[in-house]
Amino acid sequence: MSDLNERVQEITVNMGPSHPAMHGTIRLLITLVGEKVVRCDTQIGYLHRAFEKMSEANKWQAIFPYTDRLNYVSPLMNNVGYAQAVEKLIGIDIPERTKYIRVLLCELSRIADHLTCIAAASMELGAFTVFLYCMEGRDLIWDRIEELTGARVTPAYIRIGGLARDLPEGFLDRTLSILPRIEKVIGDVDALLTENPIFIERMRGTGVISQADAIEIGFTGPCLRSTGIKHDLRKKSPYLVYDRLEFDIPVGSNGDNYDRYMVRMEEMRQSIRIIRQVVRDMPGGKISIDNTMYILPPKEVVYNTIEGVVNHFKLIIDGIQVPAGEVYDATEAANGELGFYLVSDGGGKPVKCRVRSPSFALMQGLEKMVVGGSLADIIPTFGSINMIGGECDR
């Protein structure tokens, strides 16, 4: 038997960047004393694809496909965040219907993101059934998105000043019809996990972050709210039509993995609540602004008039001309505050397009959350942060 007074050697193990239990390309250099974590050196950047530099080489409207690939689990939210920042810089007021549709898509994406997070985190703990149930829920959402945008995960559906196209006939009904099934999925996951002793044993009290630490490190989103701070941009600085909708912000109290799970579960229920209101209140009307200096003119005009063809031509070749200036605008994405800081020199390409990534801030807190815990706790902790490589590394 080992003598507990014997000096136990520290050992550093490498986890990642490619690892079956890690979601995304992350490298952790974990220093262990026995099973206890004494240091966790977090190394990110393996998915850095120079989004900000690429933005400088592309026209304003051509950046949307790149935003799809930031948080690739809820891409429409990235589209919306970027479009909103550009619209703020130009000074565009988007039509009412556009606002409602954007909210609808953001909340659907939020549900998809949270389902993915819970699914992956639970699977790591051995709850494989939960993973499959959540995948079914997520797929129902992706079917709606595919119907609307043509793709499940690369929609590029939002435009500066509007949307790519209007909702198809019957889309809202079909969206409503998947909600009961998603509620059932959430209910089943709830029944399988929330009072499951194994789940509670693994998630209660693990991956704890204090309120003070969370604020200092820059946590936002479900991870911040799990510590008890009721901060959500949809309520704090409402955008789109969130100020007209009724919904609650779930808040935890312990800042542990279990609270993050509970916050996400409840957020999904609130998102469903929001979606039902949006469908009920959806106005008619146009989905893009009229000003063809920012929006492509309609196809009949482009094909048949010289003015239309000139307009379309110059927008594609020169890019929309965004007035010189700078702006920062942020939305409440699935992981927290997703901000875009844009600088324009008046031309067709951004001078700077900086992304304030929510999971980048969260990753800074990982070491604090795992040090003092055991090696096995790193898995659910990292899973509950929901770091998305595309968004963290850009």
Partner 1 sequence: MSEVLIKIDGREIKVPEGINIIEAARMLNIEIPHFCYHRHLSIAANCRMCLVEVKNSPKLLPACQTKVLNGMEIFTNTERVKRAQAAIMEFLFINHPVDCPICDQAGECYLQDYYMKFDKTLSRFKEEKVKKRKAFRIGPRVIYDAERCILCTRCVRFMEEIIKRPVLGIKYRGNRGYITTFGDRPFDDPYSINTADICPVGALTSYDFRFKVRVWELTNTNSICWGCSKNCSILVCHKNNTVYRFLPRENENVNRFFICDEGRLSYRLIHTDRLTNALRKGNEVDIDGATSFINEIINGSPKEVSIVVSPSLSNESIYLIGRLAKDVLGLDAVYFVMTQKWADDGILKNKIRDFNYYGFEKIMKAMDIRYSELKTDLQLKKNVLLFGANMKDEYKNILAKRRIMLFDTHRDGFVDSADVAISISSIYEEEGTVINADGILQRYEKAIDGGAKPLVVYLRDMLSGLDDEYLFESAELIFDNFLSPLLGLSEITFRGISNSGVKV
Q: Which is nearer to partner 1, 315 or 330 (CB)?
A: 315
Counting contacts by CB under 8 A, is residue 305 touching partner 1? yes
**Which region among 95-103, 129-137, 300-308, 369-377 touches partner 1 (by CB under 8 A)?**
300-308
Count of residues in the chain = 394
Number of residues that bind partner 1 (CB under 8 A): 16
Interaction residues for partner 1, span 166-225 (CB under 8 A): none
The residues, any chain, with a CB within 8 Å of residue 164's CB and separated by 6 or more, are 149, 156, 157, 158
When the beta carbons of 261 and 294 are compared against partner 1, the nearer one is 294
The span of 40-48, 56-64, 216-224, 311-319 binding partner 1 (CB under 8 A) equals 311-319
Contact 156, 65 (CB under 8 A): yes
**Of positions 16, 255, 308, 389, contacts partner 1 by CB under 8 A:** 308
Which of 153, 164, 309, 371 forms a contact with partner 1 (CB under 8 A)?
309
Interface segment toward partner 1; rule CB under 8 A; list 25-33, 153-161, 243-251, 297-305: 297-305
- Compute the least distance from the CB of residue 349 to partner 1, in Å: 13
Cα 236 to Cα 151, 242, 275, 276: the distances in Å are: 32, 10, 20, 22
As measured in angstroms, the least distance from the Cβ of 352 to partner 1 is: 23
Query: Contacts with partner 1 in 144-173 (CB under 8 A)?
Result: none
β-pair partners for 11: 32
389 binds partner 1 (CB under 8 A): no
Q: How far is the CB of 292 from partner 1 (least distance, A)?
A: 7
Is 346 a binding residue for partner 1 by CB under 8 A? The answer is: no
Segment near partner 1 (CB under 8 A); pick from 71-79, 112-120, 299-307, 382-390: 299-307
Written as one letter, the residue type at 12 is T
- CB atoms closer than 10 angstroms to residue 360: 18
Residue closer to partner 1 by CB (options 81, 308) is 308
Q: Of these, 8, 313, 328, 374, which contacts partner 1 (CB under 8 A)?
A: 313
Q: Does 290 bind partner 1 (CB under 8 A)?
A: no
Contact segment (CB under 8 A) with partner 1 among 2-10, 119-127, 139-147, 309-317 equals 309-317
Strands (E), 100-198: 158-159, 162-163
Q: Could you please report the per-residue DSSP string of 197-264?
A: HHHHHHHTTSS---HHHHHHHT--THHHHTTT----HHHHS--TTGGGS-------SS-SHHHHHHHH
Question: Which tokens go with 323?
Answer: 């007035």
**Does 310 participate in binding partner 1 (rule CB under 8 A)?**
yes
Count Cβ atoms within 10 A of the Cβ of residue 352 and give its class: 0-12 exposed, 13-18 middle, 19 or more buried.
Answer: middle
Q: Which is nearer to partner 1, 195 or 300 (CB)?
A: 300
Residues 6+ apart with CB under 8 A from 238: none
Q: Give min distance, CB of 87 to partner 1, in A.
A: 19
**Helical pair 257-281 and 96-124, crossing angle rounded to 10 deg:** 150
311 binds partner 1 (CB under 8 A): yes
The angle subtended at Cα 44 by Cα 43 and Cα 45, nearest 5°, is 135
Instruction: Report helix, strand or coil for 162.
Output: strand
292 binds partner 1 (CB under 8 A): yes
User: Taking CB under 8 A as the rule, does residue 304 contact partner 1?
Assistant: yes
Contact 30, 363 (CB under 8 A): no
113: enclosing H helix or E strand: helix 96-124
Candidates 190, 318, 326, 345: give the one binding partner 1 (CB under 8 A): 318
Residue 307 or 326 having the CB closest to partner 1: 307
How far is C-alpha 153 from the chain's CA centre?
A: 12
Q: What are the residues binding partner 1 (CB under 8 A)?
A: 292-293, 301, 303-311, 313-314, 317-318
